[in-house]
Every structure is written in C-alpha cells, then in structure tokens.
Amino acid sequence: MNETLVLISIFFAVLLVAFAISNYFLRRGEIARNISSTRAKRTQTDEEIDRILGNENEEIRYYLDVVKSHPPNSLPMRLVQAGFFSKKAVGRFNLIRVTVAAVIFVMAQILGDIFFENVGGTVILFFGAILAALSFILCSMVLENIGLRRTREFRKLFPDFMDLLLVCVDSGLGIEAALQRVTREFLLTTRDFGVQLSIMNLEVRAGRSLHEALQNFALRVNLEEARTLAVLFKQSQELGTSVGKTLRVYARELRQMRLVRAEEKANALPVKMLFPMAAFMFPVNLIIVLIPVLLVIVEMLQTLTPS
C-alpha cells in the first residue's frame, strides 16, 4: 500500500513538473510572438505616418488645390470638411445622389401605379419628381451632418491637442517640432484629427506662417477655438511674448470651457427628461395606482344585491 502511494505521488509530481515546464515555454513563445507582431505593426504604422507626413501625399496635394481654387461653401470644400480627400470624391458623391434620386423616382412611379390606380399619371409623375428632388437635397444634408459630427469630435479633441502641445513646448521643443510630435501621436490614436494636423504641418514646412496654417486648419475643421489660437499666435509673434505662456493660458481657458459645456449639458438634462418621463412614466404610474382601486370597485359592485 505504501509503495502504491509513493508511485502515485511520484507520478503526479512528474506530471506537475512537466506541465510547469511546458507552460513556461509556451508562455515565452506567446510573448515572443506578441512582441514580434507589435514591432511589425509599429513599423507599418511608422511607415504609414511617414507617408502621410511626406511631400508626395496625393490626398493633401488635392486638398491644397481645393483650397486654392474653390470657395469655402463649394462641394469639394464641403467634402474635404467631411473627411473625403480623394480626387474622385466629387464624382462619386454626384453619382450617389443622382442614383438615389433616380431610384426614388422610379419607385414612386411603380408604387403609385400599384396603390393609386385612380390617380392620373401626371400627378404621380409630379409627386415622383418632388420626392426625387427632396432625396437629392437630403444627400447634401447628410454630407453636412457628417461634417458637423466631425466638427463635434474635433472640438472634444482640441483641448487634448493643446495640452500635448504645451507639454512638448515646456520640455524644450520648438513650436514646429512640438507640432510634428503631437501630430504623430494623433495619427496613432485618432487618425482623422491627425490627418488634419499633418496638413497644417506640411503647410508650415512649405514656408507658410503658423497662424496662417492654423487659420486654414480652422477652416477645414470649422473650429472657433482654432481660429482663436491662430489669432493668439499672430499676436504673440507681433508682440514678442512667450509662446509657452500663450499656450498655457489658452489651454487653461479651454479646460474651463469644457467644464462649462459639461455643466450646461448637466443642467439642461432635467428639462430634456421631463417630457419623456411625462409621456412614458406617468401613464404607467396612473395605471398602477388606478387598476387596484377599479378592481375593488368592480368586485364591490358585483357583490351588491338589490334590497
């Protein structure tokens, strides 16, 4: 019996040692694979960032052509503000909205012939044309909505951009080097905002002044905060004040503005919740209160007998 227990103990001990050794080597292999994949991904990411920040970027070159030759309210400029930097974006957008309008027109004719047989063909044709025109306008409204949504996202990111820029300037980097460093970080985390910053970087590297590049950046992303920063940089250059101090003061103001916006939304929340609560919760509470009383009354009326 004792020999059997010893053999069983030896067996489990060897099994545990083998499991520990195999688990150790498996974990080392998994860690090595993760490190190699991370390095490869980082290398690919760095190459992509270098391509975006390079001088041969066709998308940024197309944007510069749009800014030079089109007014701010034109369709190519609105597409750029919505994040479409391709040369084919205008043609594709026009094709999409023409196709949508044509499909809605044809569907209106088919459905009108099926469900409104007594209505004349001219009336159905007229309403189909109206629906097609409305869908054509609706596509433009969708494009505007995409641009506004990107503006809201960029407004949330702009205080973080200011904080990172301030940290880089305080650490000893020049404003252009700090801007490039912050741009690389945003290209890793938030690509859309990083692409906008990379355009500003290329404009500065091409010889344009920083406040002019910021003005163009504000025009692209439609941010009043960026316009204010451009004015502050211009005044700082003209008056010879410290750029770091300017950034520090404005970054503090942006953080305060973010808190004020959050407080405004929090204060407006009870008013916004009033009507949904009145529409959905009040009838339910009324039913919960009245149904037991009505049941008691109905039961009492059923048990009454005439005298």
CB neighbour class for 195 (10 Å; exposed up to 12, middle 13-18, buried from 19): buried
Q: Which token pair is 93? A: 């957008």
Whether the model clears a pTM of 0.75, i.e. scores above it, the answer is: no
Mean pLDDT of 256-264: 83
Mean pLDDT of 62-88: 75
Residue 50 has a pLDDT of: 57
Query: What are the backbone angles phi and psi of residue 174, rounded to the nearest 5°?
Result: -70, 165
* CA pair distance 181, 49, nearest whole angstrom: 11
Q: What is the tens place of the pLDDT at every residue in 16-60?
A: 777 777 777 777 766 666 665 544 444 446 556 655 555 556 666
In residues, how long is the chain? Answer: 307
Residue 40 has a pLDDT of: 41
Q: What is the tens place of the pLDDT at every residue in 103-158?
A: 888 888 787 777 776 766 777 788 888 888 888 888 888 888 888 888 888 888 88
Domains plus CATH for the chain?
A: 75-148 (no CATH), 152-261 (1.20.81)
Q: Which token pair is 277? A: 């609560």
Q: What is the tens place of the pLDDT at every residue in 145-204?
A: 888 888 888 888 888 888 888 888 888 887 788 888 888 888 777 777 887 888 888 778
Q: How far is CA 281 from CA 101, 277, 278, 285, 288, in A?
A: 41, 5, 6, 6, 11
CA torsion 55→58→59→62, rounded to 10°? 100
* CA pair distance 21, 28, nearest whole angstrom: 11
Residue the block writes with tokens 């099994």: 15
Q: What is the tens place of the pLDDT at every residue in 238-257?
A: 777 777 777 788 888 888 88
- Listed in sequence order, the residues at least 6 apart from 133 whose beta carbon sits closer than 8 Å to its beta carbon are 101
Pair 182, 165: CB distance under 8 Å: yes
CA torsion 100→106→107→113, rounded to 10°? 160
